Amino acid sequence: MDGFREDAADDLASWPTGRLLLVAARLVEHEWNAVLSGHGLTHAGFLTLHALDGGPRTQRELAARTYVEEQTIRPVLDRLERAGHITRRRDPADRRRMVVTRTERGRQAYTALMTGGVAERIVTDRLEDPEAFRAELTALITALRGGNT
């Protein structure tokens, strides 16, 4: 990754855990973005398609499920819509709300990434015990969110 020096690894043992986690996240995100771009997606776009896996959602729900503000989700939705991955329509029950639906093209892009295990292999191929690591990450995220799932 640009900006990460190989010799910086020599002092990794002295880094605080939070710094280790942030650097690991950036390195994974860098590789993940390269994979996603091959499918015409960004990280935010993939998270949005994932949030739509259970069916249509409002923009507000998508923002909450992807941990961004409502104004941040709009450009993501604009890009996904231009690429043909989603459609947006007014909610007939409340015309102020927009309902977002994943299109067949969006489903195919999402499925291609999930079915092939691409998302998992970026990290798991480099770990001795991927399941234990995943369990620890899940526990950390749950704890940081205050136990809410």
The C-alpha atoms of residue 115 and residue 109 are separated, in whole angstroms, by 10
The C-alpha atoms of residue 21 and residue 27 are separated, in whole angstroms, by 10
- Quick check: is 146 in a domain? no
* Residue 148: per-residue pLDDT: 59
Domain that holds residue 78: 41-118
- Quick check: is 105 in a domain? yes
- CATH code at position 48: 1.10.10.10
- Ranges of the chain whose pLDDT falls below 70: 1-10, 147-149
Give the length of the chain. 149
- Quick check: is 2 in a domain? no
Tokens (6 digits) for 90:
């007014």
- Quick check: is 140 in a domain? no
* Residue 6: per-residue pLDDT: 54
pLDDT over 90, % of the chain: 52
* Residue 19: per-residue pLDDT: 92
* Residue 11: per-residue pLDDT: 85
DSSP string, 113-139: HHHTTHHHHHHHTT-S-HHHHHHHHHH
What does each C-alpha distance from 82 to 26, 88, 106, 126 come to in angstroms?
Answer: 27, 11, 11, 35
Total domain count, the chain: 1
The C-alpha atoms of residue 47 and residue 5 are separated, in whole angstroms, by 29
* Residue 1: per-residue pLDDT: 45
* Residue 4: per-residue pLDDT: 53
